[in-house]
Structure 1
Amino acid sequence: MLTPIRVRGRRKKRPANTLSPPQQDATKRPKGGRPLMSPAARLTSSQSKTVQRAHRLIAKPVPPHKKLSRLETLPVELIEKIFLHSLNVSFPRASLSLAATVSSERIYRALILLAFWNDLPSSTGTADAASAATIAKILSPLDYVPRDLDERSALQRAITRCKWCTVHRLLHRLPDLMELTIRRYWHDAGITMSDDQQQGLNRFLAREERDDEPSVFHGTDNANNHYTLSVSPLISVTVTCHETATARTHRILSITEFPERVLRGEDGFPSETMIYLETLRIASGFNSPELTETQVSVARDMLQKGIHVALIENNADALASLLKIDEYHFRCKNTTVPATNGVPYTIPAGHFRTAVRVARRDPALFQLLVRASAESVPADDSEITQWAMDLDGPFGRWLLELMLQLPQRIEAANANPVDGAVFYLGRANGQVELARRYLSEVLGVEQLGTWMEESSCDLERQWRAL
């Protein structure tokens, strides 16, 4: 039996005698379905579709893929070397690729160590191979070259303005700076130690020493001279030669200026910032009971802003630290005895008014300002006078007496800032009657020494916690 083959083509008209049902007339179709569009609707739809079709036909420009420069395609190690050789903090700002390459903890660490280590030539001897290798390892990946004062100052100023240079990072580099200082001025000076002394020093640097172990170590040089190494953690290293009775102190954190953003209290004065501020003050030598020459610069206008912030925060510790920095630096630069050409130390009168408004019932802030410069209290200020009367206590009565005697006290302080002022470096001058009355009537003590050595920060504890 043959199988019929279906061939596509024109359909032939079926014969009339087929059994298929006849086609229905189009006019007799059942009503329903989608209604016909009106002419206005068809016009609107046609225009809308035309606009959509035109939008699809307009090809959107494909953003070109940014091609990396030849510098950006270099190996990471080579880019780091270029950056550390140039020491240009604007280098990472050239592109996101370069910023990602050099933004690492080891780069931050190398920059901080280079900026804050005052690597003066050793007085005797040269670096041995072991010590040189240790120093190179600590400073890796930096190809170390000592920097002079101007270069270090410029680098410090540049990196302390960077956002990555946080208080946390700076504090955690202090142990490395201390080890570098010991390596340079003890080992590289040709001083050798016995095995037990060397082990004790190693335990000290690793913070594994016992509480009863001293931070003093002994050694000898090739000429059999005896030396003592005294370490004040995070502050300084002192090398003493017994035969010559000479001692040299090397500061661990060699700052050339106080960071402005810390002085002005840009982020306030939380506990971490206070530790950093006190560490900078003590490490820079601003804790001496006597004035010593300093090369550290202080932006006094920024510091006065910080004092205002500390007053607004009612933060006595921050206020005391800032006042100590301000007074010590100012007196180092301007105090002469007799004060023929010197400039008297004063603080803005507005600070006293702020202290009155912030703490009306607590004179602690006002007393700190008085201890810095009693002669700066505004004599004819009605607000302060009323506040002193409202205190109704020994300090209020003493303050009213001070305001009456201010003309004489200012004249005496200008003539002799050391012995003529009511307070000098926080010390109450016993030869001044108002100072004696302050000790007996207000504090109830016999004497009040300099406040430069006082600190709210325990650096020994901080050293063990880092």
Structure 2
Amino acid sequence: MAPRKGSNASVTREKKDRVLPGGRVSGPKANAYANSRIAKSTRSPSKPKRPPGRPFKMPARSHSSQPSSRPTSAVQTSATPSMASTPAPRALSILETLPVEVIEQIFLYSLNLNLPRASPVLAAAVSRDQIYRILIILAFWDDPPTNPRSEPINSILRPLDYAPLTLDQRGTLQEAVFRCRWCTMERVREQIPTIMILTIHRQWFNLGIKMEPDQKAALDKFMNREDDMIRVFRGEGPPVKLAAQLCQHPEMLRVSRIPGPHKYELHVKPMVMVEVRSETMKSIVAWPALSILNFPDHLLRGHKTGFTPDDVMYLEMLRMCSDNYAQNDTPLLPSTISTVNRTVLHEGVGKAIRTQNYNALISLLKLDEYIFRFHISRQGRPVCYTIPSDHFLTVTRVGRDKPHLNAAFFEALIRASAESIPTNAPEIVQWTLENVHLLQRNPSTYNEINGKLAHWLSNFVLRLPEQLDYTQGFPQGQLFNCGQLDPLDLEACRFIEEVLEPCRGPPTNWMPESQFRIEEWWVKK
């Protein structure tokens, strides 16, 4: 029987719309579908295009009406990130794959403190207390490059293959160490005895000085930090050429040529200084415990909110242990003279006044005055020390709700440099009148201190031009020198009679006064 017409048409279409390998469909329907897709994409160009690639297969939905107790695969898929979005692990560099010991040696050889910031792997390799200890010693130990090596020094600084740094190298390292967060007061304080012991090895034993057995035993006990009662040790040895070259004294140069033996004394002030004295050559050479080339700006300036107690203690420790307080004739090495950025320091003074931090104010004033007066650039010549006059005006504007503390701030500035009081300043006149009236309204003991200071100030301002002329020609004639009054000076006598008597005595040198107790840290506890 002949096939029906409709059946033949269906068969013909099925033949034309055939399925090709790979799942593609060929035929009129497939072409029409493709044309419609192209037309849609042309009509809506702003519609985002599906990313290429095969989409994840959606899980089959269950027709059961009861909820499943297990989480569906769709939830698991949405909670788990795609493997394509996970970044590939970073390949380590050749330097990072080296053993930790080798990285440490490279770091200590280069002394580039930016190396640990290059990668977390390098930072983890060199971030150890032993590395911090070596960096602090290298930064603050004044060791002339001309001296020979010695076995005790190499053992103390192990694993470093030690060689002395030049002055420029040490200055760069010290500045970088001060900027590090790990350079805390506690870490620096712990290394001060070690630095002094290294100096004794270098400037005493390495120079061939011999000692009697009892002297040697006492010095060993001191260097082991078991006892600090004996601080003077004696010995004999060849001429110490270093002392002769530093002082450049003709007589000393002549005596240093004598073959010897010469007699020497080692004077050690724990946490402060090491001195070598030659009885034969009549010379003294000293090395401070901490050789600070430049006090760090961030300690002088303080934080945005002022100075914390730890900041003040840190600054005092650096000031005392670098011997930036002793007024003596001991010739220091040129590299041991500290410097400060006076602009930054007086920014800190103004901040200490505004935040009412009396301890920070005193510490900064002491440091500024000592370095200004006794820096090596003065060559022993006396100078007239002054401070910015704006500090006195700042005191008159801040802290008026506490008049007794306010007067203490004003007196501290006077004790630093009374010659810096601004003349013809309305703020000073107003401050003087208010303190006089305070005593008249309430004649108490504390108000009497304010009133006496105000009375003296009102008269001293009138004599100030004459006082300035006097000190320009005779700097020793300043009212205060290192916080101390000269009782033989006429102006000083007036201050004692009008301000201090009968309750307070004349102030003495305030440089050795400190919150940091140097005598508490040498003997091991």
TM-score (norm 1): 0.78
Amino acid across the alignment from 1:109 = R
Change (3 A) 1:443 1:456: farther
For structure 2, the 5+ residue unaligned runs are 1-63, 67-72, 239-259, 440-450
Amino acid across the alignment from 1:321 = S
SS of equivalent residue, structure 1 residue 326: helix
| Pairing 1:310–2:352 present | yes
> 2:355 & 2:409 partners in 1: Cα distance?
11
Which residue of 355, 373, 381 maps to 2:426? 381
Q: CA deviation at 1:345?
A: 1.8
Q: CA deviation at 1:315?
A: 3.7
For residues 389-404 of structure 1, the aligned pairs below 5 Å read: 389-392=436-439, 393-404=451-462
2:136 maps to what in 1?
A: 112
Change (3 A) 1:409 1:66: same
Q: Is the 8 A contact 1:307 1:322 kept in 2?
A: yes
Change (3 A) 1:360 1:203: same
User: Per-residue CA shift, 1:76-114, capped at 9, x if unaligned?
Assistant: 011011111111111011101001111111111111111
> 2:342 & 2:499 partners in 1: Cα distance?
31
SS of equivalent residue, structure 1 residue 464: coil
> 1:336 & 1:121 partners in 2: Cα distance?
25
| Pairing 1:281–2:319 present | yes
1:11 maps to what in 2?
A: none
Amino acid across the alignment from 1:100 = A
> 1:137 & 1:303 partners in 2: Cα distance?
39
1:24 maps to what in 2?
A: none
| Pairing 1:435–2:492 present | yes
Q: CA deviation at 1:169?
A: 0.9
Which residue of 62, 82, 87 maps to 1:63? 87
User: Per-residue CA shift, 1:8-66, capped at 9, x if unaligned?
Assistant: xxxxxxxxxxxxxxxxxxxxxxxxx969xxxxxxxxxxxxx999999999764231011
1:76 maps to what in 2?
A: 100
Q: Is the 8 A contact 1:107 1:141 kept in 2?
A: no
Change (3 A) 1:352 1:68: same
Q: Is the 8 A contact 1:225 1:241 kept in 2?
A: yes
User: Per-residue CA shift, 1:160-201, capped at 9, x if unaligned?
Assistant: 011111111111110110110010011111012233222222
2:48 maps to what in 1?
A: none
1:366 maps to what in 2?
A: 410
Q: CA deviation at 1:426?
A: 2.0
For residues 210-289 of structure 1, the aligned pairs below 5 Å read: 213-221=229-237, 223-266=260-303, 269-289=307-327
> 2:499 & 2:168 partners in 1: Cα distance?
48
> 1:302 & 1:271 partners in 2: Cα distance?
19
More displaced 10-residue stretch of structure 1: 253-262 or 396-405: 396-405
> 2:75 & 2:215 partners in 1: Cα distance?
89
For residues 18-167 of structure 1, the aligned pairs below 5 Å read: 60-120=84-144, 132-167=150-185
More displaced 10-residue stretch of structure 1: 241-250 or 438-447: 438-447
> 1:384 & 1:175 partners in 2: Cα distance?
48
> 1:194 & 1:73 partners in 2: Cα distance?
53
Percent of pairs with identical residues: 37
1:405 maps to what in 2?
A: 463
Q: Is the 8 A contact 2:353 2:398 kept in 1?
A: no
SS of equivalent residue, structure 1 residue 172: helix
Q: Is the 8 A contact 1:240 1:246 kept in 2?
A: yes
| Pairing 1:205–2:223 present | yes
Change (3 A) 1:305 1:462: farther
More displaced 10-residue stretch of structure 1: 357-366 or 317-326: 357-366
Change (3 A) 1:146 1:54: closer
> 2:220 & 2:391 partners in 1: Cα distance?
52
SS of equivalent residue, structure 2 residue 404: coil
Which residue of 188, 194, 213 maps to 1:195? 213
Change (3 A) 1:448 1:354: closer
> 2:379 & 2:237 partners in 1: Cα distance?
42
> 2:338 & 2:355 partners in 1: Cα distance?
27
More displaced 10-residue stretch of structure 1: 51-60 or 384-393: 51-60
Change (3 A) 1:155 1:243: same
2:479 maps to what in 1?
A: 422
More displaced 10-residue stretch of structure 1: 218-227 or 284-293: 284-293
SS of equivalent residue, structure 2 residue 85: coil
Change (3 A) 1:442 1:465: farther
Amino acid across the alignment from 1:364 = A
SS of equivalent residue, structure 1 residue 454: coil
Change (3 A) 1:145 1:337: closer
Change (3 A) 1:417 1:53: closer
Amino acid across the alignment from 1:165 = C
Which residue of 172, 178, 197 maps to 1:179? 197
> 1:191 & 1:315 partners in 2: Cα distance?
49
Q: Is the 8 A contact 2:483 2:508 kept in 1?
A: yes
> 2:199 & 2:313 partners in 1: Cα distance?
22
The alignment's C-alpha RMSD in Å is 3.4
TM-score (norm 2): 0.70
> 2:522 & 2:141 partners in 1: Cα distance?
18
Change (3 A) 1:53 1:172: closer
> 2:464 & 2:162 partners in 1: Cα distance?
56
Change (3 A) 1:191 1:374: same
Q: Is the 8 A contact 1:217 1:228 kept in 2?
A: yes
Q: Is the 8 A contact 1:353 1:384 kept in 2?
A: no
Q: CA deviation at 1:301?
A: 2.2
Q: Is the 8 A contact 2:306 2:351 kept in 1?
A: yes
Which residue of 321, 326, 335 maps to 2:363? 321
Q: CA deviation at 1:329?
A: 2.2
Aligned pairs, number: 410
